[in-house]
């Protein structure tokens, strides 16, 4: 009997696995994979000041090629539960729609990949022509320090080698089959700080107002586009997110002004070259009139792209076969755990619809779960030909 992705998604949705709680979700996956012949490992990671987090690695087969499916069983909190038309952990189905926190992000995709893998194994005497594995974490929606990043290091230390990875984040904006993510932009936070001289507003000649300076520098930094985009990416963008003086007094010229910003950047430049460009713009505008500096925050989200080739083409073909659509190859959106996986093997992301993630009444059409399972099933069949 083929594995039922809808029943499996419902079971997972009943597990209250709000980060950092495991909620029974990983245990459910683990016991099913164990029954199917997977070797499973539960690994807990923690750091001072963070919650210990449960992770799961499960593999069947010892040979190459090795296809790993990555994902997270943790979910964001439901918020005010009274605003949900169906309780967030009840797993209700109404008119072909399944409701629950994590339906699209991303317990549904985990269930679909499990169902596809179990079906594939059943059709091939219980053994893949190579290896299938699951890299599942309970720390994606939180600060993401005790999840995929450490699980990958742990696996590498054990000698695990991955040839390709599919991450099951929700990627389709409108319809299942719309979009594969083949990369992600990098992210960089910074704070622009302009220093002046504090004084009385009635005696400006005795002070130096940093507000004038910061306004000029913000304008200069934003004056020209950072670039025009590249083959796989849109233009890099710098967005100021707050401008602060913190001055509660009406007759005081402040001593300092700060402006926070975030840059989402493409593969035009390295992170270092990007920082240089922003500092050059500030420097040119400041001359020796304005005293300024930029504090750059450390970041672990670098730009990456999995250049389209046979692997991406095979996934696209499987999607077209089931949905009739030709998926866009996109690098839009925020960061994901793919930023860590890309250091180990080529990674693409394909899952359910993205509209519903993190929303009240998060839901998935049960027909999408069936179709996604069919797509993953085609992928496995083609991958292990
Ligand atoms: Zn997610």
Evaluate the omega torsion of the peptide bond into residue 20 and state whether it is cis, within 30 degrees of 0: yes
- Is 74 annotated as catalytic? yes
Q: For residue 141, what pLDDT is reported?
A: 87
Neighbour-count burial for 84-110, b at 16+ CB within 10 Å, e otherwise: bebebbebbeeeebbbbbbbbbbbbbb
**Ligand 1 geometric centre to CA of 140 (Å):** 7
Its pTM stands at 0.91
CA–CA distance, 243 with 131 (Å, rounded to integer): 52
- Catalytic hit among 54, 140, 277, 337: 140
3-state helix, strand, coil in the chain (%, to 5): 30, 25, 45
**Ligand 1 geometric centre to CA of 246 (Å):** 36
**Ligand 1 geometric centre to CA of 138 (Å):** 11
Give pLDDT tens digits for 229-243: 999 999 999 999 999
**Ligand 1 geometric centre to CA of 75 (Å):** 8
Q: For residue 1, what pLDDT is reported?
A: 65
Q: Enumerate residue ranges in the chain where pLDDT < 70.
A: 1
- Is 267 annotated as catalytic? no
Give pLDDT tens digits for 50-96: 889 999 999 999 999 999 999 999 999 999 999 999 999 999 999 99
**Ligand 1 geometric centre to CA of 73 (Å):** 9
**Ligand 1 geometric centre to CA of 327 (Å):** 20
Q: For residue 142, what pLDDT is reported?
A: 82
**Ligand 1 geometric centre to CA of 122 (Å):** 29
CA–CA distance, 246 with 23 (Å, rounded to integer): 42
**Ligand 1 geometric centre to CA of 289 (Å):** 47
- Catalytic hit among 11, 22, 74, 267: 74
Q: For residue 335, what pLDDT is reported?
A: 87
- For the beta carbon of residue 334, count every other beta carbon within 10 angstroms: 10
Which one, of 9, 133, 152, lies nearest residue 68 by Cα?
A: 133
Structure tokens at 152: 């990958």
């Amino acid at each position: 009997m083929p594995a039922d992705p809808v029943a499996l998604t419902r079971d997972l949705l009943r597990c209250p696995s709000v980060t950092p709680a495991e909620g029974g979700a990983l245990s459910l996956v683990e016991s099913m994979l164990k029954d199917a012949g997977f070797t499973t490992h539960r690994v807990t990671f923690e750091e001072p000041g963070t919650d210990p987090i449960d992770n799961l690695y499960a593999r069947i087969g010892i040979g190459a090629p090795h296809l790993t499916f990555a994902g997270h069983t943790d979910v964001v909190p439901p918020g005010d539960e009274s605003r949900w038309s169906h309780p967030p952990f009840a797993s209700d189905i109404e008119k072909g729609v399944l409701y629950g926190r994590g339906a699209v992000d991303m317990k549904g995709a985990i269930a679909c990949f499990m169902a596809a893998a179990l079906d594939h194994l059943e059709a091939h005497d219980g053994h893949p022509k190579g290896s299938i594995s699951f890299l599942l974490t309970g720390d994606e929606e939180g600060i993401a320090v005790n999840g995929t990043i450490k699980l990958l290091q742990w696996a590498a230390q054990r000698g695990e080698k991955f040839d390709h990875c599919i991450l099951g984040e929700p990627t389709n904006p409108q319809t299942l089959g719309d979009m594969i993510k083949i990369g992600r932009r990098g992210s960089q936070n910074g704070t622009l700080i302009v220093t002046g001289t504090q004084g009385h507003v009635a005696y400006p000649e005795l002070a130096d107002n940093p507000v004038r300076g910061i306004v000029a520098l913000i304008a200069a930094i934003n004056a020209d586009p950072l670039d025009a985009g590249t083959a796989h990416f849109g233009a890099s963008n710098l967005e100021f997110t707050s401008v602060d003086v913190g001055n509660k007094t009406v007759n005081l010229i402040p001593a300092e002004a700060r402006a926070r910003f975030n840059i989402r950047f493409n593969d035009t430049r390295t992170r270092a070259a990007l920082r240089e460009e922003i500092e050059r713009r500030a420097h040119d505008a400041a001359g020796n009139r304005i005293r300024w500096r930029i504090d750059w925050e450390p970041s672990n989200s670098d730009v990456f792209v999995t250049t389209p080739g046979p692997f991406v083409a095979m996934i696209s073909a499987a999607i077209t076969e089931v949905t009739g659509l030709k998926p866009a190859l996109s690098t839009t959106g925020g960061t994901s755990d793919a930023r860590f996986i890309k250091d180990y093997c080529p990674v693409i992301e394909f899952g359910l619809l993205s509209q519903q993630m993190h929303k009240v009444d998060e839901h998935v059409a049960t027909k999408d779960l069936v179709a996604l399972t069919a797509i993953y099933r085609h992928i496995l069949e083609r991958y292990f030909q």
